[in-house]
């Protein structure tokens, strides 16, 4: 039972920290490079429609709004980050939390780009790996960099959380 609590606490702390790092990157990217961040209300809209049985949209922005979509989207964003931290811990165990290394964190972070490429973008109308966007390669690069930042965030949150978690 103690291991399950340690895993859960570690996943919540590390996933939240890594998602915050991703969000900070989004702010920096918008301010310095003029690249807009993902509107998480659209993620909430997609999830709201998904609960009604609609998986795919031609353009999610053109789909009818869903009550609470912004809150739903942001909550999902952080829960997904926590989920990927859980994947990191499921693969590498609590020993990784005791002594975080960059390789596993980057592997999970960069690997997590499969979720938007294969699920979110196609379902929201952007096509497989952003193929229906105005500049697919730029969108793919931005996704890859953002998920690499998430991986760095996993590593940093692992290091910062070590003392707090005391495993």
The per-residue pLDDT for range 54-66, each reduced to its tens digit, is 999 999 999 999 9
3 — pLDDT class (breaks 50, 70, 90): confident
Please write the tens of the pLDDT for every residue from 100-123: 999 999 999 999 999 999 999 999
For the residues 154-161, what does the mean pLDDT come to? Answer: 95
Total domain count, the chain: 1
Whole-angstrom CA distances from 91 to 7, 36, 105, 137 are 12, 33, 11, 31
**Contact at 8 Å (CB) between 116 and 128?**
no
pTM of the complete model? 0.94
Whole-angstrom CA distances from 9 to 32, 84, 86, 137 are 34, 14, 10, 37
- List all residues 6 or more positions away from 123 whose beta carbon is below 8 Å from its beta carbon: 46, 50, 55, 56, 57
In angstroms, the CA 138 to CA 157 distance is 28
Q: Which domain holds residue 19?
A: 2-165
| pLDDT higher at 166 or 73 | 73
């Amino acid at each position: 039972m103690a291991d399950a609590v340690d895993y859960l606490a570690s996943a919540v702390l590390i996933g939240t920290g890594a998602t915050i790092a991703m969000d900070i990157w989004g702010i920096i990217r918008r301010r310095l490079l003029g690249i807009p961040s993902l509107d998480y209300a659209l993620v909430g809209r997609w999830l709201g429609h998904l609960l009604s049985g609609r998986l795919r949209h031609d353009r999610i922005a053109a789909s009818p709004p869903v009550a609470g979509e912004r809150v739903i989207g942001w909550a999902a964003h952080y829960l997904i980050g926590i989920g990927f931290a859980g994947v990191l811990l499921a693969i590498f165990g609590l020993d990784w939390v005791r002594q975080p290394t960059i390789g596993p964190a980057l592997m999970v972070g960069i690997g997590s780009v499969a979720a938007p490429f294969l699920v979110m973008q196609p379902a929201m109308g952007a096509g497989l790996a952003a193929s229906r966007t105005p500049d697919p390669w730029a969108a793919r690069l931005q996704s890859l960099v953002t998920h690499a930042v998430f991986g760095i965030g996993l590593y940093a949150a692992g290091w910062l959380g070590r003392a707090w978690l005391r495993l």
